[in-house]
Amino acid sequence: MNKKAMTITLVTAIVLSSFVSVSLISDNSDADTVTVTGVWGDITVDAPIRKIAIFGTAFAVTTVELGFGDRIVMVDTYSLDLVSDYGFERGYSVTTDTDEIGQKLANGEGGFDKNRDVVVLYGYSYQKTQAEKIRDTYGIKVLALYPQSYDGAIDTVFTIGKLFGISEANNTAAKSMENAKTYYINELISNGIDTDGEKVPAAYVSYSSGNFSAGNDSSITAAMIRLAGGVNAASDSSKTGTSYPINAGDLELMGAKIIFLDGNYPDSIAKFRSEMLVSEEIKVYQLGKTMNTYASTISDGIKLIASGMYPEIFGELDPVDEGDNSDSMWYIIAIAAVIILLIAVVLVLRRSKTV
């Protein structure tokens, strides 16, 4: 799914879900006390909260999908870029400095009430000190989430919904994720794909700052590959962590028939093949930036992965354009079109003078 299509799809979902969220809030004028579970402990809030500060792309996307994008008062830079892609440009305060976060929110940034509202961030170990300082020094409720499976992603969407007063029974985003899981499991079983020997070996390759890594079994994308009926070709029990660095030629040795490439990779698939020495015999598909994050957009990612591995069951994907997919190419095309138009105008004018 390209960026334009993803934007249209998500904006539509946002508009529809906003009606749901508004009705839920109007029916729940009296706040309900709810307790939600985080990586470093539970927090209790009066739901629905009125404002939220988010430091994690999945949580920002989920909040927008649930219809509460207007309640975000602060996000990290990367999340702001994605939320803006979906049509929300509200001038969020963007920061990652711990004291700045604490001071601004404690002082009511964007209407944030530290006695009621919440900061949500990833439960990565390196963020624990930051979370504790925001909580202990500035007296702000902090919820840390770190799902590591598809079921964990569903729980995350349920949890964020609870903050806004949405019960599990009414959380249509999380329910759709559950339905997608059931659908793919049943379809694979009914088509006789239920043993590793019958499953397609596939690998996920992430990209950051010029470096490539393969998704190990604990990565969310490896979980998606398994759910969609594949085997993680990048599985390596000798490596720790959710991913590990790879070099040119490593992917060929893994035996993957399909590679799913990080949506953050900025160049063409052809260039990726050249950089990592991936032969034409291996199919390569690029995921959208939010297709393998802990939000309900993960369902779109599973659809792409399942279709890539089993097109005869889940439908063919659009042909892959392995050419240059960078924005600069579109600028070049636009400039060329303008030049051609100007030349045509000049020729027409010259011709009219000679007639």
pLDDT at residue number 340: 56
Assess whether the previous peptide bond of 48 is cis (omega < 30° from 0): yes
CATH class of 175-314: alpha beta
CATH fold match for the domains 3-169 and 175-314: yes
CATH topology of domain 3-169: Rossmann fold (3.40.50)
- pLDDT at residue 203 in the model: 97
Residues 6+ apart with CB under 8 A from 198: 192
Residue pair 2/290 in contact (Cβ under 8 Å)? The answer is: no
Which pair of tokens denotes residue 236?
Answer: 């390596």
Q: Supply 31's token pair.
A: 């706040």
Q: For residue 20, what are the CA distances in angstroms to 23, 52, 126? A: 5, 19, 36
Give residue 285's pLDDT.
95
Query: Which residues of the chain register pLDDT less than 70?
Result: 1-30, 82-91, 319-355
CA distance 291 to 220: 10
Q: Which two tokens stand for residue 112?
A: 């944030």
Residue 152 per-residue DSSP state: H
pLDDT at res. 214: 97
pLDDT of the residue at 321: 63
Four-residue CA torsion sign, 13, 82, 292, 324: positive
| Contact (CB, 8 A) for 188 and 245 | no
Distance, in Å, from the CA atom of 199 to the CA atom of 330, rounded to the nearest integer, reads 38
Sign for the CA dihedral angle at 310, 315, 321, 325 comes to: negative
Beta-carbon-side half-sphere exposure of residue 203 (alpha carbons within 13 Å): 26
Task: Please give the model's pTM, rounded to 2 decimal places.
Answer: 0.76
> Given this model, what pLDDT does residue 30 score?
59
pLDDT of 353 reads: 52
CA-based R_g, the chain, Å: 23
What are the residue ranges spanned by the domains of the chain?
Answer: 3-169, 175-314, 327-355
